[in-house]
Amino acid sequence: MSIGNSPEDERPFEDERVEEDREEARPSIGRALQQARIAAGLTVDDISSATRVRMNIVHAIEADDFTACGGDVYARGHIRTLAKAVHLDPAPLLAQYGDEHGGRPAPTPAAPLFEAERIRPERRGPNWTAAMVAAIVAVIGFVGFTMFQGDDGANEANVAEGSTPGASPTTKTKKPADPKPEPSDSAIAAAPQDKVTVQVAAVDGRSWIAAKDHNGRMIFDGVLKQGDTKTFQDSSKVQLVLGDAGAIDLFVNGKKIKDDFQPGAVERLTYTKGDPEAG
């Protein structure tokens, strides 16, 4: 007869060790975001520019420090935004954050807010309605006076030129200007010589795009779905970051760029007025 524990008694302890090994194998939220960013070839500056999340917050989140976010709601929002920027599914990261920080934040009770609103003293502002009515009356009076003076001036000019007083003036009908044609996709072929014009077309899939002007100001950042087209124009230089360059066709100053971009490759490109001949 065996005096020790049976194998069945030891099995729960083995299951606990397996579960602990799984927890240790799973990377932290910040580590997962950092690894995905590096794999995408993006810097913290690129992520900050694309998501509008400050660089110090990006660094803190990648170090699993969420105190700089300002609360659970903001932390969840930053995790979701950063995950989408580096092509990660945010749902597992948000679930992991909930497990580590006590689940979803409790909703704010509505009753205290309405009670505070009821006891707040009413503040009377200036009577803007009366001021607006007075302004409208003044504008109508000024327009009427101007039209009356204009009619008198026209009649006096007709008499001075020898026309018969009392005769009805001849009204000349002004020929309407020809409507300007709507710009079309072919307008890229006639790009102005004194500017740089870049057209980005997502033909083989979706891609994240960021574009800056010659001063480094962001003029576009977002995702182009398959079939979407964006055109950027600047006086001297357009800077691009393509999240998936293999899905993109580029036209610079009316000419197609024939670089062999690989699917999933991140490309940083700069074009000027002389391109593509200048490089």
**pLDDT tens per residue across span 117-161:** 444 545 566 667 877 888 898 888 887 777 766 555 544 444 344
Mean pLDDT, residues 25-31: 87
CB < 8 Å & 24+ apart, contacts of 251-255: 251/188, 251/198, 251/199, 251/201, 252/196, 252/197, 252/198, 252/199, 252/276, 253/191, 253/196, 253/197, 254/188, 254/189, 254/190, 254/191, 254/197
**Res. 187: pLDDT tops 50:** no
User: CA–CA separation, 65 vs 30, rounded Å?
Assistant: 8
Q: Are 250 and 270 in contact (CB under 8 A)?
A: no
Neighbour-count burial of 241, counting CB atoms closer than 10 A to its CB (0-12 exposed, 13-18 middle, 19+ buried): buried
Q: Are 75 and 66 in contact (CB under 8 A)?
A: yes
Task: Name the amino acid, one letter, at 217.
Answer: R
Q: Are 61 and 93 in contact (CB under 8 A)?
A: no
Q: What is the pTM of this model?
A: 0.37
Q: How confident is the model at residue 276 (pLDDT cuts 50, 70, 90)?
A: confident
- What's the count of helices (H) and strands (E) in the chain, helices before strands? 8, 8
22-31, 80-89, 153-162, 185-194: which has the minimum mean pLDDT?
A: 153-162
Q: How confident is the model at residue 244 (pLDDT cuts 50, 70, 90)?
A: confident
Q: Which residue has tokens 């009805």? A: 168
**Res. 18: pLDDT tops 70:** no
Question: What is the token pair recorded at 16?
Answer: 């606990």
